[in-house]
């Protein structure tokens, strides 16, 4: 069974056959993607590009779970303000201001 990061690019919440709801413009990790991919509604959403599927990227934390340093390092397409805010949450008050310094601090945290 393979997992996938599934992004809802639609304007409405889409609910997968397993009951997992994906809010508009958000990405969630779907652990049982193989069993979802063949469903007629899911096939239609993927064909219409309402759902965008990524089976190669790092896992996306589930809603309500904070990102780890490794998650943040893998999120290379995150907008700078969100990246900085998440880095400050992870690194605390000692978080550097520059992105290259933040990346170095996050790498050090994952290696510790």
Residue count (the chain):
112
User: Are 9 and 49 in the same domain?
Assistant: yes
Q: Is residue 63 part of a domain?
A: no
pLDDT of the residue at 64: 59
pLDDT of the residue at 1: 47
User: Are 46 and 10 in the same domain?
Assistant: yes
Q: Is residue 84 part of a domain?
A: yes
- Give 10-residue mean pLDDT values along the chain (112 residues): 82 91 85 88 95 76 70 76 84 90 91 78
pLDDT of the residue at 76: 65
Domain that holds residue 95: 69-111
Would the pTM count as exceeding 0.85? Answer: no
Q: Where does residue 72 rank: exposed (0-12), middle (13-18), buried (19+ CB within 10 A)?
A: buried
Of 16, 31, 54, at which residue does a domain stop? Answer: 54
pLDDT of the residue at 60: 60
For 43-68, b where at least 16 C-beta lie within 10 A, e where not — what string?
eebeeeebbebeeeeeebbeeeeebe
Q: Is residue 62 part of a domain?
A: no
Number of structural domains in the chain: 2
Q: Using the 8-state DSSP alphabet, how is residue 17 labeled?
A: T
């Amino acid at each position: 069974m393979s997992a996938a990061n599934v992004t809802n690019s639609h304007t409405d919440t889409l609910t997968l056959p397993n009951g997992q709801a994906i809010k508009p413009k958000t990405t969630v990790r779907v652990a049982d993607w193989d069993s979802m991919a063949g469903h007629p509604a899911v096939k239609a959403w993927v064909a219409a590009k309402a759902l965008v599927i990524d089976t190669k990227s790092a896992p996306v934390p589930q809603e309500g779970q904070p990102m780890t340093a490794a998650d943040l390092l893998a999120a290379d397409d995150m907008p700078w303000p969100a990246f900085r805010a998440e880095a400050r949450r992870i690194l605390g008050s000692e978080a550097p201001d520059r992105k290259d310094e933040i990346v170095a601090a996050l790498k050090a945290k994952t290696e510790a």
